């Protein structure tokens, strides 16, 4: 066995003939190559950090500057205006005069070089603090002269040489802290459509009391944090919203993503192999920082901090608060198939395995006829249970012996791969197939994914792909970028043979997959089975369905002269009003990556304008033209709110941080208790795609992403993830609790479809 072989790679024994030393050259060579690869990566990271730290300059510019300054000085031209002569006094006089002059020239050049870098970096930082461009449209008639000049300066500073992934990190501005008065005013404006006069006046008074009372003290502390920390929200958001939560990750936290429409092969092993290879290529680009940074309009940088923990990361359960454990490297992945776990090595000595070699390994797993040991089949259900219960079980039963080493192999893996034992697919004429596909990725069977890993890649029996992502380390745009890259590389570079296998010939046998061994105590098996029952109970509550809308997409929405996102939000408001006959607090996620270490902020789509439009739709006394005008007005209001949030003028993260401070200071606040207790009955998010421009639907119209989604946030609410997938296609992933008498996923999807048609008809009627 491979484990035993490694265990006796080196041994010694003392006999009457002396000391007898035995060692396995092959294994020691493997250890040497592994260490060598590790040191090479460390050196590469060190050099990359230097390159990013001196951006937008380069090391070559330093040597050029030294040569220029020294040449001029030796030619009796002092470009330093006496600076070099001053530096000569600080250099030991024991050196030769020429050496003193040379050292002074080098020192002056270096100081000038560093000063220039700092000047350029802080100039870029000041420029990126300007957000006026967000409020202006594109084109000569919409963009102001001020923005044109600003864009020219930014392009000049960001286009000097090809940037690395983290080149712009130090130049990104900090998230600004809004004034307490502005946040309170925006909050009151956001709840005005949801409250009657009596409740609004009461809330207004609570807001005033907070603003003039304890709020001032909390704001002062938060102001100090905003200057001290890189981002005054992110660390608390990660700790208290994600890692401190004790609820199961299954449905309640993890999100999922689906494949693109084309199915390039029906071979499960080949599809998995190509995707794994593409994923490892992406990891290499992250490690070398050569992945092109995501930018807006090809020159405005976004924060890349979240990419750091994509691979080799696991959320480890603890009794009170989980922790994210990230390794600098991992040379294997963990694979699950039919309740059995495997460790699959990714390198042969120092060489990354080719797709055809990875396919051979995965095929060995698929052909394995061994059975899971008792408790092994449902083992992954532990990661779907309450976090404290999983932490206690992990400490008690997985801290020594076989269980510890096998668990370590899973948690130290680059990522987790599931070879799903059923067919999953998309069929435009059969919605149930897409529903089953999505459900397999959100929760599966309760024991089919290791939810603690940063992400699971699920490959169905017929070759369909999907992912399940642990949420604490990243937000959906990061995984969407990764997904587009891997699918694009698979389709445009790796490809498949005519019979559906990975391209290439198997030249030598790669490392054989290692079956992970478990020694599960009967009490541990009981806990596993209890966790499985709890997971099945969660799954039975969730009603997840997908609406495939192929009547129109982005093309038609643009004719209405509104933002596509705002248009969909108004459709959802109309659908929700028809479903529940009232308006409710609505959550829409907005990215905050224009700021350093930014994650998300909440946009509140319910406004006075949106309510006026929704009420007008079914009113026969209002003309189609007036309804269209109300739609455009509501969309413009929503777009303005969205942009304000992107600029750091949000409401909810500021109030959240004030609440965290109140808990630490043991301060009671009726206002904060009221605001943080408000349920989000409708939680929405748009699935981002085409961030890297690899699979642009205009260039590759067949490559339409099927989107992704998440579970319901409120017990009596809906979770809606929408994907404006192409010019003519949209997807809505809708989830709710079956146990709630107020919600019904099938009914709500019907409301969405009717609302989409009715809003379209308003535009068509208005043009007659």
Report the catalytic residues. Answer: 471
The three-state secondary structure class of 467 is: strand
User: Are 473 and 310 contacting, i.e. CB atoms less than 8 angstroms apart?
Assistant: yes
Distance CA 47, CA 594 (A): 26
- Per DSSP bridges, beta strands 708-709 and 255-258 are antiparallel
Q: How large is the C-alpha radius of gyration of the chain?
A: 29
Q: Which token pair is 114?
A: 């560093």
The set of residues, in sequence order, having a beta carbon less than 8 Å from that of 41 and lying 6+ positions away, is: 287, 328, 329
What helix, strand, coil percent values describe the chain, rounded to 5?
50, 15, 35
| Listed residue (208, 160, 158) closest to 187, CA to CA | 208
Distance CA 528, CA 40 (A): 42
Q: Which residue has the tokens 């966790």?
A: 531
User: Are 528 and 378 contacting, i.e. CB atoms less than 8 angstroms apart?
Assistant: yes
Largest CA distance in the chain: 107
CB atoms within 10 A of CB 596: 22
- Per DSSP bridges, beta strands 708-709 and 730-737 are unpaired
| Listed residue (606, 599, 689, 588) closest to 648, CA to CA | 599
| Beta bridge partner(s), residue 587 | 683
Alpha carbon distances (Å) from 155 to 73, 150, 300: 34, 9, 8
453-459-460 Cα angle (round to 5): 135
User: Are 697 and 726 contacting, i.e. CB atoms less than 8 angstroms apart?
Assistant: yes
Distance CA 240, CA 252 (A): 15
| Beta bridge partner(s), residue 301 | 295
The set of residues, in sequence order, having a beta carbon less than 8 Å from that of 326 and lying 6+ positions away, is: 308, 309, 312, 313
The three-state secondary structure class of 415 is: coil
DSSP per-residue string spanning 316-360 = E--SS--EEEE-S--SEEEEEETTEEEEEE-EETTEEPPHHHHHH
| Listed residue (622, 580, 525) closest to 714, CA to CA | 580
């Amino acid at each position: 066995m491979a484990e035993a072989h490694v265990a006796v790679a080196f041994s010694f024994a003392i006999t009457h003939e002396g000391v007898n030393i035995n060692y396995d050259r092959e294994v020691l060579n493997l250890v040497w190559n592994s260490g060598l690869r590790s040191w090479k990566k460390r050196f590469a990271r060190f050099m990359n950090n230097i390159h990013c730290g001196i951006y937008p300059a380069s090391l070559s510019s330093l040597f050029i500057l030294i040569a220029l300054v020294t040449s001029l000085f030796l030619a009796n031209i002092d470009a330093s205006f006496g600076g070099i002569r001053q530096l000569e006094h600080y250099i030991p006089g024991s050196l030769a005069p020429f050496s003193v002059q040379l050292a002074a020239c080098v020192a002056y050049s270096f100081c000038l070089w560093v000063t220039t870098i700092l000047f350029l970096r802080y100039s870029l930082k000041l420029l990126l603090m300007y957000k006026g461009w967000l409020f202006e449209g594109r084109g000569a008639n919409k963009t102001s002269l001020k923005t044109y000049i600003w864009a020219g300066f930014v392009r000049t500073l960001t286009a000097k040489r090809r940037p690395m992934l983290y080149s712009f990190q130090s130049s990104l501005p900090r998230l600004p802290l809004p004034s307490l008065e502005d946040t309170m005013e925006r909050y009151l404006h956001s709840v005005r459509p949801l409250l009657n006069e009596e409740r609004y006046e009461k809330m207004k008074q609570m807001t005033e009391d907070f603003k003039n009372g304890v709020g001032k003290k909390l704001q002062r502390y938060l102001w100090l944090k905003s200057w001290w920390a890189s981002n005054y929200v992110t660390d608390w958001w990660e700790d208290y919203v994600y890692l401190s939560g004790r609820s199961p990750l299954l449905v309640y936290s993890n999100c999922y993503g689906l494949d693109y429409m084309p199915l390039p092969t029906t071979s499960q092993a080949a599809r998995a192999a190509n995707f794994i290879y593409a994923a490892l290529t992406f990891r290499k680009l992250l490690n070398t920082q050569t992945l092109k940074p995501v930018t807006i309009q090809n020159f405005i940088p976004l924060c890349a901090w979240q990419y750091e923990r994509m691979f080799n990361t696991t959320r480890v359960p603890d009794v009170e608060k989980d922790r994210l454990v990230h390794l600098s490297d991992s040379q294997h992945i963990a694979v699950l198939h039919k309740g059995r776990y495997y460790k699959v090595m990714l390198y042969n000595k120092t060489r990354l395995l080719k797709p055809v070699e990875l396919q051979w390994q995965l095929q060995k797993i698929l052909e394995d006829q061994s059975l899971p040991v008792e408790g092994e089949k449902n083992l992954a259900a532990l990661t779907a249970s309450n976090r404290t219960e999983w932490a206690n079980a992990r400490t008690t039963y997985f801290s020594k012996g076989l269980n510890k080493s096998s668990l370590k192999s899973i948690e130290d893996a680059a990522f987790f791969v599931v070879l799903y034992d059923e067919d999953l697919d998309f069929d435009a004429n059969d919605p149930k197939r897409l529903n089953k596909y999505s459900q397999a990725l959100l929760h599966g069977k309760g024991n089919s994914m290791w939810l603690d890993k940063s992400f699971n890649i699920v490959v169905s029996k017929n070759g369909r792909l999907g992912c399940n992502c642990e949420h604490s380390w990243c937000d959906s745009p990061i995984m969407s970028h990764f997904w587009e890259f891997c699918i694009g590389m698979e389709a445009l570079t790796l490809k498949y043979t005519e019979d559906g296998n990975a391209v290439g010939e198997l030249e030598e046998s790669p490392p054989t997959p290692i079956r992970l061994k478990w020694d599960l105590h009967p009490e541990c098996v009981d806990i596993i089975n209890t966790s499985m029952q709890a997971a099945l109970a969660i799954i039975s509550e969730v009603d997840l369905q997908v609406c495939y809308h192929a009547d129109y997409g982005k093309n038609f929405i643009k004719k209405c002269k509104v933002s596509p996102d705002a248009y969909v939000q108004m459709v959802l408001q109309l659908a929700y009003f028809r479903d529940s006959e009232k308006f409710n607090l609505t959550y829409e996620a907005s990215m905050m990556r224009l700021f350093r270490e930014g994650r998300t902020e909440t946009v509140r789509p319910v406004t006075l304008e949106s309510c006026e439009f929704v009420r007008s739709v079914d009113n026969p006394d209002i003309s189609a033209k007036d309804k269209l005008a109300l739609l455009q007005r509501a969309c413009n209001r929503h777009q303005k709110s969205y942009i304000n949030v992107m600029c750091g003028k949000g409401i909810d993260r500021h109030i959240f941080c004030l609440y965290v401070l109140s808990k630490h200071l043991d301060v009671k606040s009726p206002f904060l208790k009221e605001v943080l207790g408000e349920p989000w009955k409708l939680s929405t998010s748009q699935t981002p795609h085409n961030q890297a421009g690899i699979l642009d639907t205009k260039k590759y119209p067949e490559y339409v992403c099927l989107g992704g989604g998440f579970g319901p946030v409120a017990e009596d609410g809906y979770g809606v993830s929408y994907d404006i997938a192409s010019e003519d296609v949209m997807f809505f992933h809708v989830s709710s609790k079956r146990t709630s008498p107020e919600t019904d996923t099938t009914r709500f999807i019907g409301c969405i479809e009717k609302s989409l048609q009715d809003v379209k008809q308003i535009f068509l009627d208005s043009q007659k």
